[in-house]
Structure 1
Amino acid sequence: MDYCTQIQLEARYGEALLVEISDRADVPTGTIDAELITRAITDATALIDGYLAGRYQLPLATIPALVTDLAQRIAIYYAHSNVASEKISKDYEAALRQLKDIASGLIKLDAGGAEPAGSGASEVRTNDSERPLSAATMKGYI
């Protein structure tokens, strides 16, 4: 399941930008290349899943607004064939930083009831066995 849609990208960035970055035909058609945009969205989703997989059960039961926002910023960056504008590049870099924070646990997602996967680092195990060396067994040595 993708974390954003072409319609959401159009609403956020405008149809004109999507036409500009996706219409790569020899003779421009003036339309959005839906296949290219879908591929960018799919690639963005795969990247996000890679960061979330270590901490959350995938697929997410509900998609948090933050994840949709990150997917949009990454997908629009991926859709550019040439150098993206400075704003889009900075948004992409900020999205990657946020994904790293999510993966490390600094940012927590409301993942619709999915429990974060335990790392095992916080577990404490004890062994309550009988002590082989006690005052009774060491009688005469102590």
Structure 2
Amino acid sequence: MRYCALADLQLAIPPQTLIWLSNDDEAATAMNQAVIEESVRQAQELVDAHLRGRYSLPLDPVPSTVKDMTVNLARHWLYARRPEGRDFPEAVTRTYKAALQMLEAIRDARLTLGVPTGQAAPEPGEMKVRARTRHFGSDLLVRY
């Protein structure tokens, strides 16, 4: 399941700009679907990399915050692939950095997605704990 669709990108990027960003030919009149799909795939992989271990992946249903972050990451990737080396629009850079900060906050458990079924995925393997023997038992501690 994709975290964002072409329609979501079309809401964030004007149609002519999306055609320009997805094609290497300046005379192109249609979007290059393969390039757009690659931008969404890379954005989704980045989101999954941050959420792995905290949530069962892929997310279903996709929270709107994840969709918005994926759109912003995909949009940044589309601008970054342009060979002209022009400066990014300030809004693209700002939303990209904000998406990365949100992903880091979710990863570090400072934010939550609010997914009803979003429970931490169990880690594979077993956990072993080692502790030293107690020098003071509860009978001695009760006397204090």
Give TM-score scaled by structure 1 length: 0.77
| C-alpha contact 1:62 1:112 (8 A) present in aligned 2 | no
Quick one: which amino acid aligns to residue 47 of structure 1?
A: L
Distance in 1 between residues matched to 2:121 and 2:77, nearest whole Å: 29
Map 1:53-64 to 2 at 5 A: 53-64=52-63
Paired residues for 1:91-130 under 5 Å: 91-117=95-121
Residue 20 of structure 2 contacts residue 28 of structure 2 at CA under 8 Å; is this kept in 1?
no
2:78 is matched with which residue? 79
Whole-angstrom CA distance in 2 between matches of 1:29 and 1:112? 44
Report the Cα distance in structure 1 between the residues aligned to 2:121 and 2:109, rounded to whole angstroms: 11
| Number of residue-to-residue matches in the alignment | 123
Deviation larger for 37-46 or 9-18? 9-18
Within 2, Cα distance between the matches of 1:97 and 1:16?
29
Deviation larger for 33-42 or 110-119 = 110-119
What CA RMSD, in Å, does the superposition of the two structures yield over aligned residues? 2.5
- Structure 2 stretches of 5 or more lacking a match? 124-128, 132-136, 140-144
What is aligned with 2:134? none
Deviation at 1:118, TM superposition (A): 6.5
Name the structure 2 match of 1:52. 51
Match of 1:4 in 2: 4
1:20 positional shift? 1.9
Q: Percent identity?
A: 25
Partner residue of 2:67?
68
* Structure 1 ranges of 4+ moved more than 4 A: none
Q: Which has the larger radius of gyration?
A: 1
| Structure 1 stretches lacking a partner, 5+ long | 120-124, 128-132, 136-142
